[in-house]
Amino acid sequence: MDSLKIKNSVIELKQGDITECDTDAIVNASNSQLVLGGGVAGAIRRKGGPIIQEECNKIGGTPVGTAVITTGGNLKARFVIHAVGPRMGEGNEDEKLKNATLNSLKLMDKHNLKSIAFPAISTGIFGYPIDKCAKIMISSTNQYLKSETQILKVIFCLYTKGDYDVFKRELDNFG
């Protein structure tokens, strides 16, 4: 596991299943309707149970670039932060991905949470390039952790070795 220390916080990389992360919160790469379909969302729905989708239904939806929080149901994580990343081709994708990342971190501070695990948001069916994703998510997280925050650990949990390697190369640029 590779890591980077920033003030009182650390960014870590991990390869594996985000639903197995033992953090205060994990991030669901969500759609704006907050419907837990396939990919990361489907894994969260299966392992976390129906309560997560029920809470998403009560919220109703959230725009691209924003994030909302629900309980974690049966997951190890107590909370799920549903971050809505951009679809390639919709316009202004880089800014929207940055906002989805930052809004997730702001929710952590608002709810006094200390640890979070992110997937590579928008790189699945939304078609966002993994190298751009790594650059934006790591740089915006790095900037955020330099500000006043009580977040202690941000994990980027990448499912494949290839995605992990891309994030590692990007993290090495900050080391």
173 pLDDT higher than 60: yes
98 close to 64: Cβ distance less than 8 angstroms:
no
What is residue 151's predicted lDDT score, i.e. its pLDDT? 98
pTM of this structure? 0.96
End-to-end CA distance of the chain: 14
What is residue 38's predicted lDDT score, i.e. its pLDDT? 86
Q: Which helix (H) or strand (E) holds 71?
A: strand 67-71
| Whole-number Å distance between alpha carbons of 123 and 80 | 19
3-state secondary structure of 127: coil
Per residue in 158-170, pLDDT tens? 999 999 999 999 9
Per residue in 119-146, pLDDT tens? 999 999 899 999 999 999 999 999 999 9
All structural domains of the chain: 3-172 (3.40.220.10)
Per residue in 78-110, pLDDT tens? 999 999 999 999 999 999 999 999 999 999 999
Structure tokens at 15: 């390869």
Per residue in 44-68, pLDDT tens? 999 999 999 999 999 999 999 999 9
| Whole-number Å distance between alpha carbons of 34 and 58 | 10
DSSP state at residue 86:
P
Percent of the chain with pLDDT over 90: 94
Confidence of residue 174 (pLDDT cuts 50, 70, 90): confident
41 close to 28: Cβ distance less than 8 angstroms:
yes
